[in-house]
Amino acid sequence: MMAYQPGWSVVAQTLVRRERWPGGYKGGSLLRGVPVVTVGQDVYPDQPVLRMERRASTGKGANVEVVPAGMYGRVVELTPRGGVVLEGQATLIRGAIGAGNQVAGVLNIVQDDTLQQQLSAGAILVISGTLTFAMVRQALLAGVTGIVAGSIALPDFEGFLHTDILQLFGEHDIEQAQATLPALTIVCTEGLGAAPMDEVVLDVLRRHRGKVILLSGLTSTRWGVQPELILSFAPEEIQRDWQPVEQDLSLTLGARVRVSGGEHEGATGKVEYLFAYEQVFLSGVQSRAIRLRLDNGAFVVIPVTLAQRIG
Amino acid sequence: MQGEQTQNQNMASANSLLVADCGTVFTKVSLLGLVEGQYRLMARGEAPSTALPPQSDITQGIVEAIGVIEQITGRQFFRQGNLITPEEESGDGVDAFIATVSAGQPIQLVVLGAVSPTLEALAEQAVSGLYAEIHAIPSPSFIAATSASPVSVGAGQTQNGWTQERLGLEWERQLGHMREILPQAALIVGAADGLAGPTPLQEACQLLVNAAKERQEQYGAQSGNGTPQCAVLYAGASQYIEAVRRMLYGVADVTRVDSLVSQAQLGSISIAVGTLHERAIMHRLAGYDRLQAWSSAEPVATATSLSSLVRFLAQHYAMNVTAVDVGGATTTVMLAGEQGEFVPNVNAGTGVASGVGAVLQQAGTQRIARWLPFKITEDELRQFAINRVAHPHILPTSTRELQICHAFAREAMLLTIEMARKSTLEWPDADLILATGGVLAHAPKYGQVALMLLDALQPRGVTSLVLDKTMLISQLGAVATVAPITAVQVNENDAVTHRLGTCVVPYGQLQAGQVALTVGVEYSNGRQHKVDVIAGTIEVIPLRANEQALLTLFPAPTVDVGLGPGERARAAEEIDGGLVGLIIDARGRPLVLPTEEEERQARVMQWMQAIGAL
């Protein structure tokens, strides 16, 4: 049975290979990276791996920031622009939407959805419910590096970013598009609206509380880029017979899915039945369909195109 | 050469063909084969396209779509990951595989040099039928020389207009623009005897050099979007071609094309840009090598394939044909005239799935909401668009969602037609409107399709509406280049068989509430029927797909049906019926919707009911 969605929400263990690059623009200036590690070197999350400097043609040459690895891994490549490509074993969490450059920070689970006592500069906060404009403003002012939340309302999201997200997600140059955004990376695992974070995702994040993680809010419908979190494994955590999990994207019986549109948008459940013939829906549209048992116990029939396999 | 000839002969006599159309959102595959001596569509499959991450392999979507065909037919087309070709005795495999592609981003083309508005318009026209986006960046000296208060370039401080500082700022702005666009190709235009002399051509080269240097520092040999260096087409003053090549040596490959001065040069530029699109976009799609290895002929851009078929239909049937293809990420409108005139317009990035954001941004919420028979907030429309952009494969499950989707489809077509009309003074009335694309082909009711076409294309006079429910016409052009008989037979047997009906659209001064037109229908069985059609309404007179009738039209004195105001018209031949019927659209042209919201919603509902769209 075919798959319709790009990847699971949580891939428990996989080999990731990512360029450590915090974005090439800052304060209107073009930046370049200067690696401070070499190919083949093992790195740990707090370890600086590159320095970001302004390009001479766009401003006075000066160090702008030192960039930590954000993950355990090995340096496998240095890119022409000065980025460092790291490879390591990690849990990968994909978000639905986000904004902001790649950042590293200490993961902190916010209790009771109240931020005030839990704000700390450089942290990446996890809010299991809905993010509000007030929360992001507080976090930004406190120097928080990133937020992972269940969802955010569209007006709050656009109000904070001061931009039309349809335009943002369709830009040619994703990096340049982030240059004018506030310096706080946001990732929503469930998307826009009021859906709480999936318990499976929250559970994974709880297990990595206090660790340094890598977060990227880059979202592009033009280039197929999704926001993501990389929660790397320390060498002592990696089992001897470690194998990456193969993502099966097909919709099979028992597959865990999220409904991505329609009346039950945001609901999650398991595939109970695969119809052999097309079903007709209220709109009159005919489509191949599946029956889901939602997490709340209800049964629904949806077109396969609305089913996003998340695990 | 002999091998190629043998291959072509084999394809021409192929008993079975798999034809794939790789769209941005969906991949469609059709199995064509011989049935009682005629080539027919035997089965088709559809699957989400897989060119983008995480699959990053365009062939995966094709394999999944073929999987559907395998389920339907019981035939096997793959063995150990390889396409089985030729067809075996068991029926497994296929004789030929052909692909058309519209996946991938449009090629970003910057037009540089002495870019006057005329040259910019010509360049736009040259690429109107391609998956290309044009960005005109006239050289600073050209802007300075042709601005309202022209001043000498390089004069230093002057009384008004362009100082050196201003020129410097313009250079920075243009470099920033290049950085933003990341073009795959550049078209340098302009004569050397204009107000600014040859300096604009020089500056065009310098801009490319500066942009390439910056890109090299940023990304190395690859540009930011994964394509190699910018390719340059030189369509400027011919005496400077060598100088341009010297300036751009090591920076870009320069191809000389005809100097762009008028419409006569559009063909060569169009072909050159089309080739660049193939090299820079299509060939770089993930999995393209495998696709090419399967294909019996080089994969073709879908728009190019559709162009061939539309022109063929116009000439073959000696009529004006308008074809419209509303896809997930691209909307195409093509007009082909019986005299050979051809106006293509490919609006890349505009569609009803991932392209819905562009429709909302360009048309605005009011234009979309006006087509809906219910109230809707801007927030709901934006939420709909964002969800579609994030999840382009989802289908509407409620009537409300479906109607919103159809409203976007109307505006996608309207935006494309508006673009096309900029370059065409005359837009002849269509004798035949041919519609394809997922949102139209999968519409639950034929009346919905008919109404979308009437609302968006606003034909006048008498025209036929035909729906390509099998979504084959976009591929038949490519099929025709290798298996022309197959293409012709499948077209006639299966592709253009869903005739919605004949449409009569009176125009002129229609008086609201008055009879605009009286229609006399004489059926083949002798039965007669007369209908008074009130201005502002739609009437559907029963005339089924296999029925014909003679038509007489009695327009009101100020109303025209093609022969002049008030002139009676009697068809020389019987007209054909269709799946909707004989449609009389007396809403007037241009179509003007009531400004008052409740009245408009009531009218829209009334029209939907009349045409069977509810």
Distance CA B209, CA B207 (A): 5
Q: How many CB atoms lie within 10 A of CB B364?
A: 13
The answer to whether the CB atoms of B220 and A80 lie below 8 A apart is: yes
Residue B264 forms contact with A (CB below 8 Å): no
Q: Could you tell me the two tokens for A9?
A: 């929400």
**Is A192 in the same domain as A279?**
no
User: What pLDDT sits at residue B543?
Assistant: 95
Residue A249: inside a domain: no
B149, B152, B155, B156 alpha-carbon torsion, rounded to 10°: 30
- Architecture in CATH for domain B2-101: Roll (3.10)
Q: Is residue A3 domain-resident?
A: no
Q: What's the pLDDT score for residue A199?
A: 87
Surface-to-core class of residue B376, CB atoms within 10 Å of its CB (0-12 exposed, 13-18 middle, 19+ buried)? middle
pLDDT value of residue B391: 87
Cβ of residue B182 closer than 8 Å to a chain A Cβ: yes
Counting as low any pLDDT under 50, the low residues of chain B are 1-3, 6, 151, 153, 155, 157-160, 222-225, 227
Please report the beta strands in A79-182, taking only residues with DSSP state E, as ranges in sequence order: 84-94, 97-99, 103-109, 123-131, 146-152
pLDDT value of residue B260: 93
Overall pTM surpassing 0.80 (yes/no): yes
Residues A189 and A289 in one domain: no
HSE at residue A76, side-chain half, CA atoms within 13 A, is 13
- The interface predicted TM-score of the complex, written ipTM, equals 0.86
> Nearest Cβ partner of A283 from B53, B108, B396?
B396
Are A140 and A266 members of one domain? no
> At A2, is the pLDDT very low, low, confident or very high (cuts 50, 70, 90)?
very low
Percent with pLDDT over 90 in chain A? 59
Arithmetic mean of pLDDT over chain A: 88
Same domain? A208 vs A269: no
The answer to whether residue A41 is domain-embedded is: yes
Within-domain flag for A300:
yes
Q: From the CA of A224, how many Å to the nearest CA of chain B?
A: 6
Spell out which residues of chain B touch residue A79, defining contact as CB-CB under 8 Å. Answer: 219-220
Question: Does A301 share its domain with A152?
Answer: no
Listed in order, the ranges of chain B carrying CATH 3.10.20.370 are 2-101
**Do A133 and A231 share a domain, yes or no?**
yes
Sign of CA dihedral B245, B250, B256, B260: negative
Q: Where in chain B do CATH 3.40.50 domains reside?
A: 107-284
Q: Which CATH class is domain B107-284?
A: alpha beta
Mean pLDDT along residues A164-185: 89
**One domain for residues A173 and A30:** yes
The alpha carbon of residue B575 is apart from the nearest alpha carbon of chain A, in Å, by 30
Neighbours of A178 (CB within 10 A): 25
Interface of A with B in 166-225 (CB under 8 A): 166-167, 169-170, 172-173, 175-176, 191-192, 221-225
Residue B65 and residue B62: Cα distance in Å, rounded? 5
Across the interface, of B48, B357, B386, the residue whose CB is closest to A4 is: B48
In Å, how far from its chain's centre is CA A121?
20
CA distance A209 to chain B (A): 28
- Cβ–Cβ of B394/A32 closer than 8 Å? no
B349 neighbourhood in chain A, CB within 8 Å: 170
CA nearest to B353 within chain A = A221
Instruction: Determine, yes or no, domain membership for A286.
Output: yes
Write down which residue in A237, A264, A279 finishes a domain.
A237
Q: So what's the pLDDT on residue B159?
A: 39
**Nearest in space to A100 (alpha carbons), one of A26, A155, A1, A8:** A26
**Tens digit of each residue's pLDDT (9 = 90 or more) over A201-244:** 999 999 999 999 999 999 988 888 889 999 999 988 887 777 77
Q: Read off the CATH number of the domain in which A263 is found.
A: 2.30.30
Supply the pLDDT for residue A1: 46
Counting Cα atoms < 13 Å in the Cβ hemisphere of B133 gives 16
Same-domain pairing of A115 and A48: yes
Same domain? For A46 and A92 the reply is: yes
| A113 inside domain | yes
Q: Please indicate, yes or no, if residue A2 is contained in any of the structural domains.
A: no
Which tens digit of pLDDT belongs to each residue from A182-203? 999 999 998 898 888 988 899 9
Query: Do A101 and A25 share a domain, yes or no?
Result: yes
Q: Do A65 and A178 belong to one domain?
A: yes
Name chain B contacts of A155, Cβ cutoff 8 Å: 379
B40 compared with A120, residue with greater pLDDT: B40
- Total domain count for chain A? 2
Is A248 within the bounds of a domain? no
For residue A279, give its domain range: 256-309
Over its C-alpha atoms, chain A yields an Rg (Å, rounded) of 20
Q: What is the CA radius of gyration of chain B?
A: 26
Question: Would you call B360 an interface residue with chain A, using a CB distance cutoff of 8 Å?
Answer: yes
Contact flag B397-A263 (C-beta cutoff 8 Å): yes
B473 touches chain A (CB under 8 A): no
